[in-house]
Amino acid sequence: MMTCPVCGHSGMVDKVLDETLAYGGQSLTLHAMRGQFCSHCGKGVWDEESYRRYTEAQEGLIRTVKGDVGADIRRIRKKLNLTQAELASLFGVGKIAFSR
């Protein structure tokens, strides 16, 4: 039986829960998230599939709130008629810093 990574208690139980993510005034609820949760402190660990869903949703929520920063940089760079290497030089970073 798995022990709790937070409190060390050995009473981890399988549960299926809904998890709500919130960022920048936006929220998103993920349904049927599976994992093992501590019967003592309530903290838990998602299974592999639920963890993948959580991280993908989290990244998507951040992109939704912040927008596509890469597209903004590309648009500004092109408006200034700069290559990626020229922009990198202006910022004092490596030549491929703006290639992604």
Judge if 33 and 61 occupy the same domain: yes
Query: For the whole prediction, is pTM greater than 0.85?
Result: no
Q: How does DSSP classify residue 96?
A: T
Judge if 7 and 55 occupy the same domain: yes
User: Which residues span the domain enclosing 80?
Assistant: 68-100
Q: What is the mean pLDDT of each run of 10 residues along the chain (100 residues)?
A: 90 95 95 96 96 96 86 91 91 81
Judge if 46 and 61 occupy the same domain: yes
Q: Write down the pLDDT at residue 100.
A: 63
DSSP states along 21-72: EEETTEEEEEEEEEEEEETTT--EEE-HHHHHHHHHHHHHHHHHHH--HHHH
Judge if 49 and 84 occupy the same domain: no
Number of domains within the chain: 2
CATH value at residue 31: 3.10.20.860
Judge if 26 and 4 occupy the same domain: yes
Decide: residue 79, CB within 10 A, 0-12 exposed, 13-18 middle, 19+ buried.
Answer: exposed
